[in-house]
A and B are shown apart, each in its own frame.
Chain A
């Protein structure tokens, strides 16, 4: 798999405030790379630096097939976070204009536009003025505009925001199929559950710096420790004294025990003391969603995991 985009040591500050620093990752052909983080983490800033809409203070951005550091704009599809369309123009006109800006052959663009409009349930809307579209329809047209010219690299900033679940699935399917056909995809999101299902690799940033990165399975193995949820009346001390328990969170009847990384679930369960009050018990891995929340709310779960790991 060829690397389409390399970001190395990217840093940017506004006034004296460092927005992002030392961001490094790459996006390969045919893979979905997810840039994750809470609002204000620096995802959009990173993407805008890649797109040449902002200029980084430090670091380097390299595209495949690009000579003398120029952004190969015609090979890139971009869906910004803040997006819209001209209001008083026809859907087909704006799609063709955006394709023309990419130097994409117009008859081919028209063909593909009709195809995609049909695929996204917008058949017959090509001659409709943009202002008559609903917000969701507008989002779809924007998405079509970003992929119409068959980009080699597709950059989607929060592609799922403001979409209903049906449209989300539609977008997900399309993004996956584009990746299967060899498009390199960089997408940012704060919706971990959506990304978890589709990303090959992820890069999680918080306050402008990297927190976690790697392939999805690596990240899960490394950070998504087991947790055990027990319903029953047990004292905090008892639970905390159990082996391999790093942290206990009590809520009403239930307690969540965060287990250490090296725990072997079967073994650990067998060794639970008999006097423990167990009405219900479940054991599973911490989800990316929980990791995400944890980071965003500055709890120390990950830090502990990290320390243990170190």
Chain B
């Protein structure tokens, strides 16, 4: 009871201290804004392209202009018939900004190729788009072969390879049903990333204690365990404050930009499991940060060992590729059982999988929870000694010795 009392005081102090610091406040608002910027900027740029419509001049010797126009109905083209010759076209294109000349004659139908002249300004994607016009021309080809309309229609239809293994609507990451699972997962990921990033400040805070030589003064009032717990809880709350700011800034924008009932998808029972995983992940990384932070006075003097340990929270990124390509595959399973990668990998997998592998989830969460407990104990031992070692960084050997005692 008395222990909690002191822990709370430390936590309160860390929160207050950060909330009063300009850099924290700036970061608090800047991260969601940057996040939104990355999300929305490409959209802004692409809408910039809209006025640059390609003008497509068609020299039609076959009288299929109307069919061509119909085929190109979904494009951004500005189609116009023309009588220019190929030489004239070339000259015109030198001056014209974004235009293309297409010459359709008997020869095109016989040889199956259509000459297209484009200007430098024409986008590279145009040559893909222009293949649309193949359809009406193919019809002309088929007609010339003298088939019936029905036969012609069958041939023109071509053959399509269709994926029928899943429900038809489920294609792509952002289909409706997919979003139902991705939304809570993405939210849990945001929660975890926010508190992990804020949690990295724990490292700063622990090593600051050494650098400013205040640890011994603080420890005359409370125990190292209370100080450590206070820091972990304090930065956890700071992380949650970051999440709240995130939600307040980003959610309205997302709801406005993305036409999906985000709120409805977000508050599902699965979210609780995802949040539990995120919080366990935070506690694991926080224990690592606070322990390692106590072993060095300055991040710039971090040795290889400390640097490697600092990178652990980013280890789930190693699994992004394998997990996305096969969320139930062997790599995804391995990633779920390694405590350092488990939070990230589990959140990724659960966002992708329709049917949750509950047995795996329970085992992985249990491993994670036990690791949290073990690492908290270890961090406590390292913190207790490290925090009072002024002026020099601990070597891995020394840290190992503290852990064993």
Contacts and interface: CB of A to CB of B under 8 A. Distances in A.
Contacts of B219: 51, 53
A276 interface: no
A142 B217 contact: yes
A98 B215 CA distance: 12
Contacts of B6: 101
Interface string B2-20: 0000100110010011001
A295 to B, nearest CB: 27
Centre residue among A53, A76, A79, A145 by max chain B CB count within 10 A: A53
A85 B212 contact: yes
Interface string B194-223: 000000000000001000111011111110
B217 A98 contact: yes
Interface size class of A (residues with CB under 8 A): 20 to 34
Given A84-B214, A98-B217, 11 more contacts: A51-B220, A76-B220, A78-B220, A83-B213, A83-B217, A86-B214, A98-B221, A101-B218, A101-B222, A102-B221, A146-B217
B39 to A, nearest CB: 33
Nearest to A94: B214
Given A53-B388, A86-B17, A101-B9, A73 B216 contact: no
Interface of B: 6, 9-10, 13, 16-17, 20-21, 208, 212-214, 216-222, 388, 390
Nearest to B387: A53
A85 to B, nearest CB: 6
Contacts of B13: 97, 100
Interface string A89-116: 1000100011011100000000000000
Contact of B214 (A51, A73, A83, A146): A83
B220 A80 contact: yes
Nearest to B221: A101
Contacts of A168: none
Contacts of B214: 83-86
Q: Shortest 10 CB-CB distances between A and B: which pairs?
A: A84-B213, A78-B220, A101-B221, A80-B216, A84-B212, A82-B213, A97-B13, A82-B390, A84-B214, A73-B221
A93 B20 CA distance: 11
Nearest to B223: A52
Given A82-B390, A97-B13, A101-B6, A74 B213 contact: no
